Amino acid sequence: MQEKPEAMLRRWFDELWNQGREDTIDRLLAPDAKVYGLPVPITGPGEFKPFFRQFRQAFPDIQITVVSTVAEGDRVAAHCHVVATHLGEFLKVPPTKRRVEFSGMCIVRAAGAQFVEGWNCFDFLTCYQQIGVMPQLNA
């Protein structure tokens, strides 16, 4: 029986991001998959892997918790909570050893046993502020 998109997405975050298992990209991301909402649109595992490596190198202890999901047909949306420590260069900023904590959402569309489209909306502004790339805004 084929895995449901919700279970696939939870596995994506747990295996890839929390455990650092890069082989998950090849298993779950279709060769021609389109991923949006990152610094640039990405197509397939070949373009996603450099993004993953760079982010994981900067935040090697990253942990992403899937707070909740909503699924409909071949699509699933996930609300996520991210915690990590800035231990490697990121956006030309040397490691600050600061803890970051932010949230975000993603929506993916699955076909068969792989994701074919993904849309990300994570609060990277908060992450950038926490490591000093962007100034904190006063309310």
pLDDT in tens, 99-135: 999 999 999 999 999 999 999 999 999 999 999 887 7
Residue whose structure tokens are 């569309």: 109
Instruction: State how many domains the chain has.
Output: 1
pLDDT value at residue 65: 98
Nearest to 35 by CA among 55, 60, 59: 55
Closest CA to 95 of 48, 50, 52, 61: 61
Q: How confident is the model at residue 74 (pLDDT cuts 50, 70, 90)?
A: very high
Question: Would residue 68 count as lying in a domain?
Answer: yes
In a domain, residue 86? The reply is yes
User: Within a domain: residue 45?
Assistant: yes
pLDDT digits (tens, 9 = 90+) for 16-71: 999 999 999 999 999 999 999 988 899 999 999 999 999 999 999 999 999 999 99
CATH of residue 39's domain is: 3.10.450.50
Give the Cβ contact number of residue 10 at 10 Å: 16
- Domain with 15, as residue range(s), is 5-131
SS3 (DSSP) at 21: coil
Judge residue 116's burial from the number of C-beta atoms within 10 Å of its C-beta, 0-12 exposed, 13-18 middle, 19 or more buried.
middle
| C-alpha dist (Å) from residue 11 to 6, 8, 49, 103 | 9, 5, 17, 18
42 in any annotated domain:
yes
Q: Exposed, middle or buried: residue 48 (CB in 10 Å: 0-12, 13-18, 19+)?
A: buried
